[in-house]
Every structure is written in C-alpha cells, then in structure tokens.
C-alpha cells in the first residue's frame, strides 16, 4: 500500500456524518434592485441569511424577524 493510499484510506475511515442543526437565520441582510433604493429598508427586494446564504422575500424576512426569539438558542446564564 502506497503512502497516498494510507492517507486517503485513513481519511475515509475517520469521516463521520455529523447532523447540523437548522439555521436560525439570525442575521438577514437586505438586497436592492436599484442603487437609488439602497438604504431604504421598505424598498428591499430580497433578504439573504449571512449564515446559510438562503434568500427570503421581504414578507418572509419580516416573519422570521417576528419569530426570532423562539428560533435563536439561548445560552445558560
């Protein structure tokens, strides 16, 4: 068995499937169609989650913002 076979065989054996929790969509960045509209929140045409890059309509972004407290994990304090 060659050196590369040993390296790649070891990597294949050690790789474990890890299930990641769903994204909480905590940071949504607005996008605009026109430069003139930039900075005007009511004229945003799209919102992008900074963590997972999923795109949302303004209505979906509003609903996500309203339900943020239920979706975001709370640290032990």
Angle at 65 between CA 62 and CA 71, to 5 degrees: 135
Starting at the earlier edge strand, list the strands of the sheet with 28-31.
Answer: 28-31, 46-49, 55-56
Give pLDDT tens digits for 46-74: 999 999 999 999 999 999 988 887 766 66
Alpha-carbon gap, residue 36 to 41, rounded angstroms: 12
pTM: 0.63
Give the distance from CA 61 to its chain's centroid.
13
Between CA 35 and CA 15 the distance in angstroms is: 46
pLDDT, tens digit, for every residue of 14-36?
566 778 788 888 899 999 999 99
């Amino acid at each position: 068995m060659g050196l590369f076979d040993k390296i790649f065989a070891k990597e294949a054996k050690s790789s474990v499937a890890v299930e990641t929790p769903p994204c909480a969509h905590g940071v949504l960045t607005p996008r605009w169609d026109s430069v003139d509209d930039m900075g005007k929140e009511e004229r945003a045409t799209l919102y992008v989650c900074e963590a997972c890059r999923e795109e949302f309509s303004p209505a979906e972004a509003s609903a996500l913002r309203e339900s943020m407290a239920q979706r975001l994990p709370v640290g032990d304090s």
